[in-house]
Amino acid sequence: MRFDRVRLEHFKCYADADLVLEPGVTVIHGPNGSGKSSLLEACFFALYGHRALDKTLDDVVTIGAEDARIELWFSHAGRDYHVEREIRVRGDSAQTTTCVLEGPDETVDGATDVRARVTELLRMDSEAFVNCAYVRQGEVNKLINASPGDRQDMIDDLLQLGKLETYRERAKNARLGVKHVRDDKRGALSELESQITEKEDEELYQRLNGLESELKEVENEVAQLETKREPAAETRQQAETVLEEYREAQADIEELESEIADLEAAIEKREAERERKADEISEHRETAEERRSERASVLAETELDRPESAALEARREELESRLEEVRESIQERLLEKQEHASTAERAAERAEEHTAEAQSKREEADERERDLESDREQLSERREKLSALEETVATNREAFDEAPVDRDGVEDHRESVASDLTDARERVAELEATLTAKREAVAETERLREEGKCPECGQPVEDSPHVETLDDDREAVADLEAELEAARERVTELEERLRRAEEWVERAADLDQRESNLENLRTLVDEQAGNFEERAAAVERLREEADDLEAEAAEAREAAAEAREEVATVKTAIGDLNTEKSTVDEALERLDRVVDLNEAITEHEDAVARLREQRANLTEQNDLRRERLAEKRAERRELADEFDEDQVEHARGEKERAEQYLEKIDARLEDLHEREIDLRDAIGGVRNDIETLESLHQRHEEVSATVDRLQSLYDEAYELQEMYADLRAELRQRNVRRLESLLNETFELLYQNDSYARIELDGEYDLTVFQKDGEPLDPEQLSGGERAIFNLALRCAIYRLLAEGIEGETPMPPLILDEPTVFLDSGHVSKLVELVETMRGFGVEQILVVSHDEELVGAADDLVTVEKDTTTNRSSVGHEGGAIDAAALAELTGDD
């Protein structure tokens, strides 16, 4: 078998890769992490799916991609196959969405079926594949480190010996199954046997005979008793008929007696009722009599001699029309009284009003008179004042005749005097200032003269032109003093004149005032004197009016008194009318009473008639009842005469005897019936038991036949089981010997040194390495490199053993080695190259090796380079151009 081509899409670090694989030795090389191992894993995965993975399915899909596609073309036993898988990531997990294996005459669909088919074709499952053909990176020690048991399983599996074990196991299970069933059946058989023994111990047939003969006896006795029973039952029947008739007659008599009693009671009750009604009648009669005598006495007070209703009615009409008349008169009189009373009231009011008005008029007149008097006194006072004022004014007017000016010029005069006074005062002030200056100048001149200096220019006095003026100056001072004296006198004189002028001004104003006062007073007096007469006349008028009002008031009072008298008269009339009204009312009441009494008397008479009739009815009813009573009594007598006591007594005796006899017979019959039923039950039970026993015998026969058959089946299964065990031991022995020799051969080829003599593989697949000196060594005690060599040797030996096949040659998968040189020194690398070539020589179709080693690269038929783009982190694969030596290839493949 060989791989022809692998194509990848989004598988791990591959975005898109397509690689054709040649037969022979292919070395895959490239830097770390470039994707070499991934390429081999892809092939493995293509064949076995997720079983080829250590991790989960989503691990194979390029991180970030949604789906991956892996396709592998391979040829096997001369046929071409193509397997395709598509993995799709959904959420957190991935699923195989497509899985198809296409062969020359088959197409297998679905991951499970494809894996089963691949396992069948290659005769190995994924585990066997890695144990034999595919030495994964870092798994070189896997087979050595495994326990002998595991190793045995692994190699047995690879050599298909596992199947024999499976068959043996199946045979054993079948045997155990049969044993289980057989044991069950045996148990059932012994159970049946004990049941049969139990039943047979019961002596069933004998019991059945005894029961049946007893049943016959019972039936006979029953028949006899029933013949005796019949006449006794008849005698009892006849006696019962006689007694029954007697009881019926007795019941009829009782019924009649109760009817008789009822009738007697009813008659008595009606009699009592009749008595009561007679009492009621006499009560009504008495009451009617009382009413009649009352009516007679009332009638005596009226003007009637008989209580007839027509007369009563006529009298009533008469009285009622009179009553109406009296009522109307009272009404009229009341109105009249009302009118008079209100007239009296109005007149009294009027009198009072007039009196009050007269009073107020008088008071007003008095007041006005008093005012007039005081005004007269005032006027005479004013007249006196007026003449005094006239005198004063005349005197003042005369005083102005002596005045310096006339009355109109007084103000102008005062103003001119005042102005003169101002001038004079200014003159005095001027003179005083001039005088003071002159006096100071004189004093200075005198001082300077004493000092000898000129007062004018300060030069020495001698010869000063100014000294001569001093005398003149002294004269001027004296003049000024005289002039000032005169001016001061003029001021004094003018002050006196101003005072007088002011006095005149005052007097003129005073006179003006008085003259105007005088004028006013005069007008006032004239006016006052004018209206006195008129006012006195008004007072007189008021008094006259008051007199008139008082006269009217007196008239009104008289009218009121008259009206009151009228009221009294009318009142008396009303009193008379009321007396008459009550007389008529009483007469009417008496009439009413007579009518009422008439009615009462009639009612009582009616009641008497009614009660009499009821009594007559009652009498009639009781007569009828008495007749019926007589009938019932006759009937009762007849019934009582009908039956003879002796006859009844006889029937009773007969009945009792018959009953006692029947009781005895019936009790016995009942016992017999019960016994009969019991016997029939027991017979049924025994018959059933007999049937059961028979079927138990039959069942026993069947089961013992089955047990015999099971036993022989069990023996056969045991033989089969033993046979598979023997076969496996034998085959394994043969394979172990062949594997041991192949292992020694390969190891010798691969191992350079000369330390070890041989390797032993025993029946339990225990591996032992023997040193030259014959000392044994556990493979785990070997060095790391030695172990790697040992493992490679073992792998290759197994691969060869399988290739040789158990029954002829088998097409093997490519031998795949991932980094096999890791632990090897250069010498051993050379040996590995040799081994590879030897394997090729043994007819291994295709060897795939991942390695960096130059020597291995050099030995390759085909060189595949894997690279990783550092920017995209995506890997690519390709053949190293011309690396294939066509001649060498022809030589290598020539042996196939």
Ligand X SMILES: Nc1ncnc2c1ncn2[C@@H]1O[C@H](COP(=O)(O)OP(=O)(O)OP(=O)(O)O)[C@@H](O)[C@H]1O
**Interface residues toward ligand X, by CB under 6 A:** 12-13, 30, 32-38, 59, 61-63, 137
Q: Is 37 annotated in some ligand binding site?
A: yes
Tell which one of 19, 454, 651, 877 touches Zn ion (CB under 5 A). Answer: 454
137 marked as binding residue: yes
State the binding string over 544-583 for Zn ion (x if CB under 5 A, else -): ----------------------------------------
Chain centroid to CA 49: how far? 58
CB of 170 to ligand X, least distance (A): 42
Beta carbons of 864 and 6 less than 8 angstroms apart: no
857 vs 888 by CB, closer to ligand X: 857
Segment interacting with Zn ion (CB under 5 A) among 186-194, 318-326, 462-470, 607-615: 462-470
Pick from 172, 131, 129, 121: which is nearest to 765 by CA? Answer: 131
Binding partner of residue 821 among ligand X, Zn ion, none, CB under 5 to 8 Å per kind? none
With CB under 5 to 8 Å by kind, the binding choice for 35 among Zn ion, ligand X, none is ligand X
Distance CA 421, CA 415 (A): 10
In the complex with ligand X, which residue's Cβ is closer, 36 or 800? 36
Q: Which one of ligand X, Zn ion, none interacts with residue 457, CB within 5 to 8 A by kind?
A: Zn ion
Residue closer to Zn ion (CB basis): 174 or 467: 467
- Nearer to ligand X among residue 37 and residue 721 (C-beta): 37
Residue nearest Zn ion by beta-carbon distance: 457
CA distances from 523 to 10, 530, 878 (A): 151, 11, 164
Given ligand X, Zn ion, none, residue 34, with its beta carbon under 5 to 8 Å by kind, binds ligand X
Which of the choices Zn ion, ligand X, none does residue 12 contact, using the CB cut-off of 5 to 8 A by kind? ligand X
454 contacts which partner out of ligand X, Zn ion, none, CB within 5 to 8 A by kind?
Answer: Zn ion
In degrees and rounded to multiples of 5, residue 747 shows phi and psi of -60, -45
What is the rounded CA–CA span in Å between residue 458 and residue 466? 10
Q: How many CB atoms lie within 10 A of CB 705?
A: 11
Element (H, E) at 65: none
Q: Which does 23 bind (CB under 5 to 8 A by kind): ligand X, Zn ion, none?
A: none
> Between residues 718 and 823, which has the closer beta carbon with respect to ligand X?
823
Instruction: Say if residue 35 carries a ligand binding annotation.
Output: yes
Q: Looking at 307-315, 445-453, 460-468, 770-778, which segment touches Zn ion (CB under 5 A)?
A: 460-468
| Separation of alpha carbons 821 and 826, rounded Å | 9
One of 451, 456, 585, 726 touching Zn ion (CB under 5 A): 456
- Site size toward Zn ion, by CB under 5 A: 5
Residue 742 contacts residue 758 (beta carbons within 8 Å): no
Query: What single string gives the DSSP state of each residue in 153-199?
Result: HHHHHHTTHHHHHHHHHHHHHHHHHHHHHHHHHHHHHHHHHHHHHHH
Residue 62 near which of Zn ion, ligand X, none (CB within 5-8 Å, type-dependent): ligand X
Q: Position of tokens 């040799």?
A: 834
- Half-sphere exposure at residue 876, Cβ-oriented, CA atoms within 13 angstroms: 7
Least Å from the CB of residue 434 to Zn ion:
24
Q: Is 12 assigned to a binding site?
A: yes
Applying CB under 5 A, which part among 451-459, 590-598, 650-658, 773-781 lies near Zn ion? 451-459
The distance from CA 823 to its chain's CA centroid, rounded to whole angstroms, is 77
Is 36 marked as a binding-site residue?
yes
Query: Which long-range contacts link 309-317 to residues 24+ away (Cβ below 8 Å)?
Result: 309/595, 309/598, 312/591, 312/594, 312/595, 315/591, 316/588, 316/591
CA torsion sign, 722 to 727 to 728 to 732? positive
Q: What DSSP letter does each residue of 452-474 carry, written as one string?
A: TB-TTT-SBSTT-TTGGGHHHHH
- If the CB atoms of residues 793 and 877 are measured against ligand X, the closer one turns out to be 877
Q: Which amino acid would we find at residue 622?
A: N
Among 342, 459, 492, 771, binds Zn ion (CB under 5 A): 459
Which of these, 758, 782, 786, lies nearest to 772 by C-alpha position?
Answer: 758
Is 115:48 a contact under the CB 8 Å cutoff?
A: yes
Kindly tell me which of 452 and 843 has the beta carbon lying closer to Zn ion.
Answer: 452
* Contact in structure between 759 and 770 (CB atoms under 8 Å): yes
Largest CA distance in the chain: 236
152 binds, among ligand X, Zn ion, none (CB under 5 to 8 A by kind): none
d(C-alpha 300, C-alpha 293), whole Å? 11
Closest CB 9 distance from ligand X, rounded Å? 12
Nearer to ligand X, 37 or 131 (CB): 37
Question: 739 exposed, middle or buried (CB, 10 Å; 0-12, 13-18, 19+)?
Answer: buried
- Contacts made by residues 685-689, CB under 8 angstroms, sequence distance 24+: 686/204, 686/207, 686/208, 686/211, 687/208, 689/199, 689/202, 689/204
State in angstroms the smallest separation of the CB of 458 from Zn ion.
Answer: 6
- Between 40 and 611, CB nearer to ligand X: 40
Using DSSP's 3-state secondary structure scheme, residue 673 falls into: helix
Q: Nearest distance from residue 32's CB to ligand X, in Å? A: 4
Residue 193 Cα distances to 188, 492, 696, 697, 711, angstroms: 9, 200, 8, 9, 19
Smallest CA-to-CA distance from 519 within 380, 381, 389, 379 is with: 389
Q: Near Zn ion by CB under 5 A, which window of 368-376, 412-420, 454-462, 719-727?
A: 454-462
Quick one: 62 or 464, whose CB is closer to ligand X?
Answer: 62
Q: Would you say 452 is a known binding-site residue?
A: no
Which residue's CB is nearer to ligand X, number 32 or number 870?
32
Using CB distances below 5 to 8 A depending on partner kind, what does residue 32 bind out of Zn ion, ligand X, none?
A: ligand X
Name which of Zn ion, ligand X, none residue 107 binds, using a CB cut-off of 5 to 8 Å depending on partner kind: none
Q: How far is the CB of 820 from ligand X (least distance, A)?
A: 12
Q: Which does 33 bind (CB under 5 to 8 A by kind): Zn ion, ligand X, none?
A: ligand X
Which helix (H) or strand (E) is 701 found in, with range? helix 645-750
132 is in an annotated binding site: no
Question: Minimum Å distance from CB 464 to Zn ion?
Answer: 5
Using CA atoms, how far residue 381 sits from 370, 389, 437, 524, 528, in Å, is 17, 13, 72, 12, 12
DSSP-derived letter for residue 89 is: E
63 binds, among ligand X, Zn ion, none (CB under 5 to 8 A by kind): ligand X
For the stretch 308-312, contacts whose Cβ atoms lie closer than 8 Å and that sit 24 or more positions apart, written own/partner, are: 309/595, 309/598, 312/591, 312/594, 312/595
| Smallest separation (angstroms) from ligand X to the CB of 92 | 15
Phi (first) and psi of residue 6, to 5 degrees:
-130, 135
The least distance separating ligand X from the CB of residue 67, rounded to whole angstroms, comes to 12
Q: Is 32 annotated as a binding residue?
A: yes
Least Cβ distance, residue 462 to Zn ion (angstroms): 11
Which residue number, 467 or 484, has a Cβ lying nearer to Zn ion?
467
User: Nearest distance from residue 471's CB to Zn ion, in Å?
Assistant: 18
**Phi, psi (5° rounding) for residue 21?**
-110, 135
For residue 855, the minimal CB distance to ligand X (Å) is 18
- Residue 456 interacting partner from ligand X, Zn ion, none (CB closer than 5 to 8 Å by kind): Zn ion
Amino acid at 838: T
Residues 764 and 758: beta-carbon distance below 8 Å: no
Q: For ligand X, which is the closer residue by CB, 275 or 869?
A: 869
- Region 793-852 residues binding Zn ion, contact defined as CB under 5 A: none
Residue 162 assigned to a binding site: no
Closest contact distance (angstroms) between CB of 810 and ligand X is 30
Shortest distance (Å) from residue 452 CB to Zn ion: 12
457 binds Zn ion (CB under 5 A): yes
Q: From the annotation, which residues make up the binding site for Zn(2+)?
A: 454, 457
Give the residue numbers of the binding site for ATP: 12, 32-38, 137
> Which positions touch Zn ion (CB under 5 A)?
454, 456-457, 459, 464
State the binding site: 12, 32-38, 137, 454, 457
